[in-house]
Amino acid sequence: MPDIFRPLRSFVGAFAVLAIITVATPWSEPVQAQPDPLPSWNEGAAKKSILDFVGRVTQKSSLDYVNPELRVAVFDNDGTLWAEQPAYFQLTFAIDRVKALAPQHPEWADKQPFKAVLESDVKVLAESGEHGALEIMAATHSGMTTEAFNKTVAEWLDSARHPRFKQPYTALIYHPMLELLDYLRANGFKTFIVSGGGVEFMRVFAERIYGIPPEQVVGSSGVTKFQLDTDGKPSLVKEAKVEFIDDKEGKPAGINRFIGRRPLLAFGNSDGDLAMLQWTAAGDGPRFMGIVHHTDAEREWAYDRKSNIGKLDKALDEATAKGWTVVDMKDDWLTVFAAQEGRAVKE
Amino acid sequence: MPDIFRPLRSFVGAFAVLAIITVATPWSEPVQAQPDPLPSWNEGAAKKSILDFVGRVTQKSSLDYVNPELRVAVFDNDGTLWAEQPAYFQLTFAIDRVKALAPQHPEWADKQPFKAVLESDVKVLAESGEHGALEIMAATHSGMTTEAFNKTVAEWLDSARHPRFKQPYTALIYHPMLELLDYLRANGFKTFIVSGGGVEFMRVFAERIYGIPPEQVVGSSGVTKFQLDTDGKPSLVKEAKVEFIDDKEGKPAGINRFIGRRPLLAFGNSDGDLAMLQWTAAGDGPRFMGIVHHTDAEREWAYDRKSNIGKLDKALDEATAKGWTVVDMKDDWLTVFAAQEGRAVKE
């Protein structure tokens, strides 16, 4: 199933201010060393590798110094910046939309995979596989203007709650990764999301919760059609046609098309990120490749090689073989979710 | 014929420094009024409309004040930032490539449209129309890695000379528009190219000559394929398959997909820009829509409603009807090309 899933919400107060400040200075010069730019990261090899790398590429006296305009940092979203269990959040959104739209679609009562969604028949839904998921995505992500879609996503994020944590989905963002984004931007990096998720879905929340503006979000997309109404008012209507899948081998292609520079740093968490990590690693000079390894069943989830969602198998082998940084969530992170750290979450 | 054309080159010295400075401060706060930020623009309605608009949206006391992160400015390239006569520069590049590659393609001697190119038979070439142009583009823009393509474009820009002006194509950029780009960036705007030209073609020169970084260039694209060689080294190979045409109704779609915000200011020069201008105009609050009207046969070219290249007909009517800013090149520009103004051009 293509990764075309994921959501938003409402971090105000301290974080919003931080986001504005950091967005305001994307290419700023390296700041002076602060007490500890990554306080939510336990001391260990992962934290050390990040601090060492950023130091090497930003200190002018360093042989590995990299000009600010080349400091491109790319992050997968699902499982890297926020959680992705028990299902990609964007898929959960789509399923909720099927339920909301069902009264207008009486035919769904007898039509799979919609019937399975409406009856909460997880087994049949799972059996519908990629084809079923695409049908659900097409039915819920098309036939409206881009503006109407954005509004629907925003409303869902305001009201939906995660089944395990009973929090808004946007509360399930990783506090250590927010610190990393801030730290990179303070050191002149421009931060991008490069995700299999839908680009329009992610943009509804990416700036607010990550400080990543819409033009720095790369994702999967459907075709949109420009049209003028009878008053000459233009709109873009979302069509049920996939335009680009920004996953697996699509990620380097997406980076090439949207960003046009090879990343200096890339972070992912699954085999879907392997091509992006390989593409990053193949650049000249120093490069940083990082993987979030989900090892914490208590605070989050523990899964890797055998998971249907966020399968991490080949990329874990390659990371080990090539000495990429593997973040052990249980050992390396002092806190996991932003909300647990006390960031203001609007309920 | 889809606009998939256009080139680069080498402004060093003062301009390079300017470009670095402006790239370094994309969201900077409005600077104090300078003596005249647009000295290459004659006093008149066009210049006044630009200065008035920028003042209105950047002065905090203004009712029309717009936050810096929303100050998105989009520019067409061919005919708006640089010349496009007697043929789109990217098409000229493609034709030069056909000639350079001909020894490896003996079959082209008898195959149209290649035969016409090799025999400089303009009439037959013109008759081959859109289909012929697409064949030429496919033959010259695919079958190599993205890196090899970029190198070819850079080499062409170094060596090719415009048939009328005997200058590198990158010298045929409009000095008044460079001033406008600088002025907008100094006032907190983020400047983007939104062009029918090939995104990879434009990125070879856009940062150097316009100060517009690769990630702010939106254009047409072909499919690229990620592959690993036997040593595990990844590359992206350009395929002979159109992925997206960023022209006409494709421009608002491209803006939506790449930028994700509606422009505050848009500048074009042809009917190919009409949808982008309409999309911009339909936003809330103040918006600026500008058109470069080619009226100067002596210093540049004079063409509009009947031109095959850069046809300006419906957009000119709509601009007049709606009060958009139409720049009369002959009357409104004190100088036309950057080179004539004495910007350092590397020969």
Residue ranges covered by each domain of chain B: 14-85+167-341, 89-159
CA distance A282 to chain B (A): 7
Q: Are A293 and A320 in contact (CB under 8 A)?
A: no
**pLDDT given at position A105:** 94
Local confidence band at B30 (pLDDT 50, 70, 90 cut-offs): low
Torsion of Cα atoms, A54 then A57 then A58 then A64, to 10°: 150
Cα A319 from Cα B261, distance rounded (Å): 37
pTM: 0.88
Between helices B14-24 and B199-210, what is the axis angle to 10°?
110
Find the closest chain B residue to A206 by CA distance. Answer: B260
Predicted confidence pLDDT, tens digits, chain A (347 residues) = 343 333 322 323 333 333 333 334 444 455 555 689 999 999 999 999 999 999 999 999 999 999 999 999 999 999 999 999 999 999 999 999 999 999 999 999 999 999 999 998 988 988 888 888 888 988 999 999 999 999 999 999 999 999 999 999 999 999 999 999 999 999 999 999 999 999 999 999 999 999 999 999 999 999 999 999 999 999 999 999 999 999 999 999 999 999 999 999 999 999 999 999 999 999 999 999 999 999 999 999 999 999 999 999 999 999 999 999 999 999 999 999 986 544 434 33
Residue type, B190: K
Interface test with B, best of A256, A277, A284, A317 (most B CBs within 10 A): A256
**pLDDT given at position A30:** 55
pLDDT above 60: residue B15:
no
Nearest to A69 among B23, B69, B258 (CB): B23
**pLDDT given at position B31:** 54
- Going by CATH, does the domain composed of A14-87+166-341 fall within 3.40.50.1000? yes
Q: Are B258 and B213 in contact (CB under 8 A)?
A: no
Nearest to B233 among A203, A233, A282 (CB): A282
Find the closest chain B residue to A225 by CA distance. Answer: B253
CA distance B115 to chain A (A): 32
Q: Which CATH number fits domain B14-85+167-341: 3.40.640.10, 3.30.1200.10, 3.40.50.1000, 3.40.1780.10?
A: 3.40.50.1000
Q: For chain B, where are the alpha helices, taking DSSP H only? A: 14-24, 45-58, 89-101, 114-118, 122-127, 129-140, 146-159, 175-186, 199-210, 250-254, 274-281, 314-322, 329-332
Find the closest chain B residue to A274 by CA distance. Answer: B234
**pLDDT given at position B346:** 38
Nearest to A261 among B215, B221, B243 (CB): B215
Residue type, B97: R
**pLDDT given at position B129:** 83
CA distance B100 to chain A (A): 26
Distances in Å between the Cα of A138 and the Cα atoms of A220, A254, A269, A273 are 13, 21, 26, 24
**pLDDT given at position A253:** 97
Answer whether B226 sits within 8 Å of A200, measured CB to CB: no
